[in-house]
Structure 1
Amino acid sequence: MFKVTTRGKIGIAALMLLVSTAPAMADDEYGVLMKTLANPFWGAMAEGVKAGADAAGVKYYLQAVENDQAAESQLNVCNTMLERKPVAMITAAINSTNLLPCLKKAQEGGIEIVDLDGNLDPAILKAEGIDITFSIGSDNVKAGAQGAEYMAKTLGTDAKGPVLVIEGLSGNITGEKRTTGFADRLAELAPGLNIVASLPGDWDRGKAANITNDILTRNPDLKGIFAANDGMALGAVESVFAAGKGGDVVIIGVDGNSDAVKSIKDGRLTASVAQLPYLVGMEAVENAKKVADGGTVDKQINVQTLVLTKDILDEGTDPVLKYVK
């Protein structure tokens, strides 16, 4: 039975996804700690975790917090999960530092630590003396670069004009890598496309919509928008279409979640660099089981990405599409 405190509480959707058939303190469970299941990205990853656990024949329990910014709540949940003494802690930290005290305790207890979706900064881990078992996710710099490549291809490498970048939560390494990858690659491919603003959207759809509206007011000839996740990209879509500029601005997100797929099919969002969270979750559990069985895995495991466009979705022939959830 799970005890949910006020400070560490999780939503009903997350509670329904707490999975365990073993009693507390079982010695063969895997603990999975995510951000918020209100975000389709993490919902898809939770599905992948279940598939990976079923395939590997392991028991697990999964918890998430109320939103992408609930750093303190996530630490509380992490500490509570440690009391069950899992074989491994598979964690998607909200930022590079909030889970460090918990992960240090896990290491001291001989628990394997998995960095889910590359949210932990290697330099910070080294400074804290924390040695994780492996990190799994997409190459976020590459994902950002793929977004830039598609924008340059769509607008033309000789295109000129303003571009907006909407970053993730300040201090989150995942968002930083995506936006850096985008900015660096865009400068190489289409130097005439000038990033006029790069602002933190905090993974929030509403905030991204407000940022977009403000930048559009100041730059009515805006050519493109790159958002570090799909939720923010969809916020940008709302503002662009409300301004009567639907189809005039190339808008690219990252994640490839279900809402983004629908928007792309509807001809609103231009593209999304799919991070395939389902595949990340599945392979995270499978590799953690391999380590628990005495095997070895790479310290850094990168799962492939795919740029989702209307053409690719309409054709439906790419074999990777089966992992887009």
Structure 2
Amino acid sequence: MNRKFKQLAGGVSIAFALMGGHAAFADTIKIGITQNNVGVDSYQTTYEKAFKEAAAAESGVETVVLDAGGDVARQIAQVQDLIQQKVNAIIIWPTNGKAVVPAVRKAQAAGIPVIVTNSNIAPEGAEFIASFSGPNNIQQGASAAELMCEALGNKGQIVQISGQPGYTTAIERQKGFEDRLAEACPDVKILETQPGDWNREKSQRVMEAFLVKYDKIDGVYSGDDNMGVGALNAAKAAGRADKIAFVGATNFAVGYEAMERGEYYGSIYQSPVDDAKNALKTAIAVVKGEKVPALNYFETPKITKANMKDFTKPVF
């Protein structure tokens, strides 16, 4: 399935034109990447594999692949290490969009363009990056809200399991969901929001607590399907799943399968393979001095049981 890039921000584009319009690199382009937390979920694990494969297929491209393990201090140190290695570009998947701003500023000051991938940097860091490559998380949250309105017939009470606190994707998806829910179906009320940290087991525990606290829950919105299936498992164990509509974002294989069984209402389709390839292509283009959109948002459509056959089952 083709999912085209959308250019936002009024068509604004920027380029790193060094040395008369050509980036200062030798025969080999060296790109460093510091990721958020590979292994915390299958999306990030699949992203890393796809990134390495895409880089291996690019002639004249060398990569330094690092992982912060969810630790902000470690990621900041990794950015400093990549600066010292004098890479031609740095791709960063921020562990915390605000905390990494000083490190990104240092890279930019050193003449190394920074591409943010998947989860954007805080607004105060936007001036220090060459481009953002990834999904529009605000729109994903809004689309998920529309799915919830459909599932509940515009009336009911729900709980929300958000992602990791301080993580831009979690913040944006929650904002997009809450803002659109209030507009599209104001009679659907959020009882409570708790973080699931992108972790299925923690989200199951969060949902268990919700089920004890609230006698009536009509729906659950989770920041991704990994957490959503954790919530589903808790509801199934309590014998209450058939009375609850489950909506997520970033459709995982387990969410796709649950949707097929009729246990999960809907989600947002997003490919980690596309995510990784787009980030690499953006970094290469920036290093070569090509014009690159400030915001590269690829399409992430709604997926439900009604249209799921139009989408390939996620590999993560």
Fold match by TM threshold 0.5: yes
Tell me how far 1:182 sits from its aligned partner.
0.9
Aligned partner of 1:108 in structure 2 is 109
Matches within 5 A, 1:133-282: 133-157=130-154, 159=155, 161-282=156-277
Tell me how far 1:251 sits from its aligned partner.
1.2
CA contact (8 A) 1:56 1:285 kept: no
Structure 1 residues 213 and 59, CA gap change in structure 2 (3 angstroms):
same
What amino acid does structure 2 have at the position aligned with 1:34? Q
Is 1:294 equivalent to 2:297 in the alignment? no
Mapped partners of 2:302, 2:33: distance in 1:
28
What amino acid does structure 2 have at the position aligned with 1:148? A
CA RMSD of aligned residues (A): 2.4
Unaligned runs of 5+ in 2: 1-25
Structure 1 residues 268 and 115, CA gap change in structure 2 (3 angstroms):
same
What amino acid does structure 1 have at the position aligned with 2:51? V
Aligned partner of 1:4 in structure 2 is none
SS at match of 2:227: helix
CA contact (8 A) 1:237 1:251 kept: yes
Mapped partners of 1:71, 1:229: distance in 2:
22
CA contact (8 A) 1:35 1:93 kept: yes
Aligned partner of 1:40 in structure 2 is 42
Q: Could you tell which deviates more after superposition, 135-144 or 181-190?
A: 181-190
Aligned partner of 2:6 in structure 1 is none
Question: Higher relative contact order at CA 8 Å, sep ≥6: structure 1 or structure 2?
Answer: 2
Mapped partners of 2:261, 2:74: distance in 1:
37
Give the TM-score taking structure 1 as reference length.
Answer: 0.81
Structure 1 residues 65 and 259, CA gap change in structure 2 (3 angstroms):
farther
Tell me how far 1:166 sits from its aligned partner.
1.4
Aligned partner of 2:120 in structure 1 is 119
Unaligned runs of 5+ in 1: 1-24
SS at match of 2:114: strand
Aligned partner of 1:21 in structure 2 is none
Aligned residues: 289
Mapped partners of 2:77, 2:225: distance in 1:
28
Is 1:63 equivalent to 2:66 in the alignment? yes
CA contact (8 A) 2:245 2:265 kept: yes
Tell me how far 1:295 sits from its aligned partner.
0.8
Mapped partners of 1:98, 1:27: distance in 2:
31
Aligned partner of 2:100 in structure 1 is 99
Tell me how far 1:209 sits from its aligned partner.
1.8
